[in-house]
Structure 1
Amino acid sequence: MNNGEAIWSHVEALSEDFFGLADRIWGMPELNFHETRSAAEHLAMLERQGFRTQSGVAGLPTAVMGEAGDGGPVIAILGEYDALPGLSQQAGVAEERPVEANGAGHGCGHNLLGSASLLAAAAVKDWLAERGIAGRVRYYGCPAEEGGSAKGFMVREGVFDDVDIAISWHPAPFAGVNKPISLACNEIVFTFTGRASHAAASPELGRSALDAVELMSVGVNYMREHMPSTARVHYAVIDTGGVAPNVVQPKAVVRYLVRDRELPAMQALVKRVEKIAEGAALMTETKVEGKIVSGDANLIGNDPLEALMHRQLERLGPPQFDEADRAFAREIQKTLSREDIEAAYARFGLTPQLDVPLCDTITPLGAGDGTHVGSTDVGTVSWVVPTVQMRGATYAIGTPGHSWQLVAQGKMPAAHRGMEHAAKVMAATATALFSDPAEIAAAKADFAKRRAGRPFVNPIPDDTQPELPAELPQAAE
Structure 2
Amino acid sequence: MQNTLPVWALVERHRADLEGLADRVWETPETLYAEYRSAEAHVQMLRDKGFRVTEAPAGIPTAVIGEAGEGGPLIAILGEYDALPGLSQVAGIAEPRPVVPGGNGHGCGHNLLGAAALLAACAVKDWLAETGTPGRVRYYGCPAEEGGAAKTFMVRDGAFAGVDAAVTWHPDGMTRVDDPESLANTRMDFHFQGRASHAAASPHLGRSALDAVELMSVGVNYLREHMVQDARIHYAYLDAGGQAPNVVQAQARVRYSIRALQLADMLALVERVKDVARGAALMTGTTVEMQVFSAVSNNLVNETMDRAMHSVLEALGGVPFDEGDRAYAKAIQATLSAEDIAAPYRGVAMVPRRDEPLCDYIVPLRPGGEKMIGSTDVADVTWAVPTTEVLVATHAIGTPAHSWQITAQGKSPAAHKGMTHAARAMAGLAERLIEDADLLARAKAEHAQRLEATPYRCPLPADLRPPLQPRPA
8 Å contact kept, 1:107–1:406: yes
State how far apart, in whole Å, the 2-side matches of 1:345 and 1:461 are.
39
Displacement of 1:5: 6.5
TM-score (norm 2): 0.98
State how far apart, in whole Å, the 2-side matches of 1:20 and 1:106 are.
15
Displacement of 1:100: 0.3
State how far apart, in whole Å, the 1-side matches of 2:369 and 2:438 are.
30
Aligned residues: 472
Q: Deviations over 1:95-143 (max 9, x none)?
A: 0000001000001000000000000001000000001011110000000
Counterpart secondary structure, 1:442? helix
Which residue is equivalent to 1:467?
467
Percent identity, aligned pairs only?
Answer: 58
Counterpart secondary structure, 1:294? strand
8 Å contact kept, 2:3–2:131: no
State how far apart, in whole Å, the 1-side matches of 2:92 and 2:472 are.
33
8 Å contact kept, 1:341–1:399: yes
Displacement of 1:449: 1.5
State how far apart, in whole Å, the 1-side matches of 2:217 and 2:24 are.
41
Displacement of 1:189: 0.4
8 Å contact kept, 1:76–1:137: yes
Which residue is equivalent to 1:242?
242
Q: Deviations over 1:177-217 (max 9, x none)?
A: 13211100000000000001111110000000000000001
Counterpart secondary structure, 2:281? helix
Which residue is equivalent to 2:372?
372
1:410 is matched by which residue type in structure 2?
A: G
2:362 is matched by which residue type in structure 1?
A: I
Equivalent residues in 2 for 1:301-316 (5 A)? 301-316=301-316
Counterpart secondary structure, 1:141? strand
State how far apart, in whole Å, the 1-side matches of 2:253 and 2:195 are.
14
Displacement of 1:407: 0.3
Q: Deviations over 1:53-102 (max 9, x none)?
A: 01111100000000000111110000000000000000001000000010
Which residue is equivalent to 2:296?
296
Displacement of 1:348: 2.5
CA RMSD of aligned residues (A): 1.4
Q: Deviations over 1:246-289 (max 9, x none)?
A: 11111100000000001001101111111110110010010001
Counterpart secondary structure, 2:384? coil
Displacement of 1:308: 0.9
Which residue is equivalent to 1:9?
9
Displacement of 1:224: 1.2
Counterpart secondary structure, 2:69? strand
State how far apart, in whole Å, the 1-side matches of 2:182 and 2:433 are.
25
2:119 is matched by which residue type in structure 1?
A: L
Mapped pair 1:391 → 2:387: no
Displacement of 1:469: 1.6
1:54 is matched by which residue type in structure 2?
A: T
Mapped pair 1:61 → 2:56: no
2:378 is matched by which residue type in structure 1?
A: V
Mapped pair 1:43 → 2:48: no
Equivalent residues in 2 for 1:238-277 (5 A)? 238-277=238-277
TM-aligned CA distance change 1:5 to 1:363, over 3 Å: farther
Counterpart secondary structure, 1:452? helix
TM-aligned CA distance change 1:236 to 1:340, over 3 Å: same
2:363 is matched by which residue type in structure 1?
A: T
State how far apart, in whole Å, the 1-side matches of 2:286 and 2:81 are.
40
Mapped pair 1:330 → 2:330: yes
Which residue is equivalent to 2:204?
204
8 Å contact kept, 1:34–1:62: yes
Which residue is equivalent to 2:347?
347
State how far apart, in whole Å, the 1-side matches of 2:224 and 2:344 are.
26
Which residue is equivalent to 2:433?
433
Give the gaps of 5 or more residues in structure 2: none
Q: Deviations over 1:159-190 (max 9, x none)?
A: 10110001000000011113211100000000
State how far apart, in whole Å, the 2-side matches of 1:284 and 1:29 are.
42
Name the stretch that deviates more: 176-185 or 87-96. 176-185
1:287 is matched by which residue type in structure 2?
A: T
Displacement of 1:3: 10
State how far apart, in whole Å, the 2-side matches of 1:337 and 1:10 are.
40
8 Å contact kept, 2:399–2:405: yes
Which residue is equivalent to 2:96?
96
8 Å contact kept, 2:69–2:128: yes
Displacement of 1:471: 4.6
Give the gaps of 5 or more residues in structure 1: none
Mapped pair 1:30 → 2:30: yes
State how far apart, in whole Å, the 1-side matches of 2:283 and 2:182 are.
36
State how far apart, in whole Å, the 2-side matches of 1:13 and 1:178 are.
28
8 Å contact kept, 1:178–1:367: no
TM-aligned CA distance change 1:195 to 1:357, over 3 Å: same
Counterpart secondary structure, 2:257? strand
Q: Deviations over 1:279-315 (max 9, x none)?
A: 1001001000111110111111111111111111001
Mapped pair 1:319 → 2:319: yes
State how far apart, in whole Å, the 2-side matches of 1:178 and 1:63 are.
24
8 Å contact kept, 1:10–1:127: yes
Which residue is equivalent to 2:402?
402
Equivalent residues in 2 for 1:37-186 (5 A)? 37-186=37-186
Q: Deviations over 1:387-421 (max 9, x none)?
A: 11100110000000000000000000000000000
TM-aligned CA distance change 1:3 to 1:204, over 3 Å: farther
8 Å contact kept, 2:171–2:392: yes
Which residue is equivalent to 2:443?
443
TM-aligned CA distance change 1:414 to 1:4, over 3 Å: farther
State how far apart, in whole Å, the 1-side matches of 2:63 and 2:369 are.
33
Which residue is equivalent to 1:233?
233
1:312 is matched by which residue type in structure 2?
A: V
2:275 is matched by which residue type in structure 1?
A: K
Displacement of 1:241: 0.8
State how far apart, in whole Å, the 2-side matches of 1:196 and 1:5 are.
72
8 Å contact kept, 1:3–1:431: no
State how far apart, in whole Å, the 2-side matches of 1:252 and 1:349 are.
45
Counterpart secondary structure, 2:385? coil
**Structure 1 runs of 4+ off > 6 angstroms?**
2-5
Displacement of 1:453: 2.5
Counterpart secondary structure, 2:341? helix
State how far apart, in whole Å, the 2-side matches of 1:4 and 1:452 are.
42
Q: Deviations over 1:347-379 (max 9, x none)?
A: 223221132000021011123447211000000
Name the stretch that deviates more: 223-232 or 124-133. 223-232
Displacement of 1:472: 6.8
1:442 is matched by which residue type in structure 2?
A: R
